[in-house]
Amino acid sequence: MRFIRMFVSFVLLCGGVACSSGASENSVITRAEDTGKLTIGIRFDQPGLAERTVDGRQVGFDVDVARFVAGELGVKAKDITWRETSAATRENDLTSGAVDLIVAAYSITDRRKQVVAFAGPYFTTGQDLLVRLSSTDITGPEVLNGRKLCSVTGSTPAQKVKDRFAQAVQLVEYPRYPDCVTALLAGQVDAVTTDAAILAGYAAQNPELLRLVGHPFSTERYGIGLRLGDPEGQAKLNDAIRKMISTGVWLNSLKANIGPSGYQLPPPPEVNEK
């Protein structure tokens, strides 16, 4: 009789949220189902990708990706809490539990995969340079010896340029990319480097003063960051990205948010993170 009662209890339990998805207790799927809410780490300062408007709205391609995958987890847009993250804090924001997901121009690398997991990729770009329109002699990273190159604290693009192309380049760091762009406009640095999709947004804001060099020299695959040990959540997010691509929502968002900058839109990536 006791066995029967236990069996009935189990069946009733699995008729509800606890067993409906097959996800573990610590999965982002379970957190979304249990609360109907998610906290998502995003950038507030990347035009075209993720930007906070003066009236407090979040807009951009990364924002659209975040909203879409949250919807596939059963979370409405109004129930997303947006938390600003940065290159220097992304891993800690995830591992500490401050955010459930990160959708913030987050390149998938082997080093990062030791600390966090990724779904995706959902976008592919490459590292490039942003320079003043008058700097016609800057055609690529190899000509930056003796010049000042800016990037943000906690990111790796500027060091990559120094290691691979221009050992005598002078590296300058600021907390945010807009600080680098301001320094570039003021003549305090000669170039800014990060992913081309990010730089294109700043070039579009100052087309009479700035230009994207347009010769990417790396491959960057953007993924959705989540905590390690969540294969169910990773698989669900991968399915959500594939659905966003197959339904045309992915391309429409790219056209609306990044297309106006003149940046050449890439084809959809193969979603293959495991």
Q: Which domains does the chain have, with CATH numbers?
A: 26-125+220-261 (3.40.190.10), 127-212 (3.40.190.10)
Residue bearing tokens 């407090």? 56
Cβ atoms of residues 104 and 90 within 8 Å? yes
Q: Distance (Å, rounded) from C-alpha 91 to C-alpha 98? A: 10
- What is this structure's pTM? 0.86
Q: Which of 145, 168, 173, 143 is nearest to 157 (CA)?
A: 173
Q: Which helix (H) or strand (E) holds 228?
A: none
- Asked if residue 271 lies in contact with residue 120, where contact means CB atoms within 8 angstroms, the answer is yes
pLDDT in tens, the chain (274 residues): 443 444 434 344 444 433 445 677 889 999 999 999 999 999 999 999 999 999 999 999 999 999 999 999 999 999 999 999 988 899 999 999 999 999 999 999 999 999 999 999 999 999 999 999 999 999 999 999 999 999 988 778 889 999 999 999 999 999 989 999 999 999 999 999 999 999 999 999 999 999 999 999 999 999 999 999 999 999 999 999 999 999 999 999 999 999 988 889 999 999 998 8
Q: Where are the alpha helices (DSSP H) in the chain?
A: 2-14, 17-20, 28-35, 61-72, 90-95, 157-164, 177-185, 196-205, 231-246, 249-257
Question: With contact defined as beta carbons under 8 Å apart, do 152 and 176 qualify?
Answer: yes
* Cβ atoms of residues 150 and 183 within 8 Å: yes
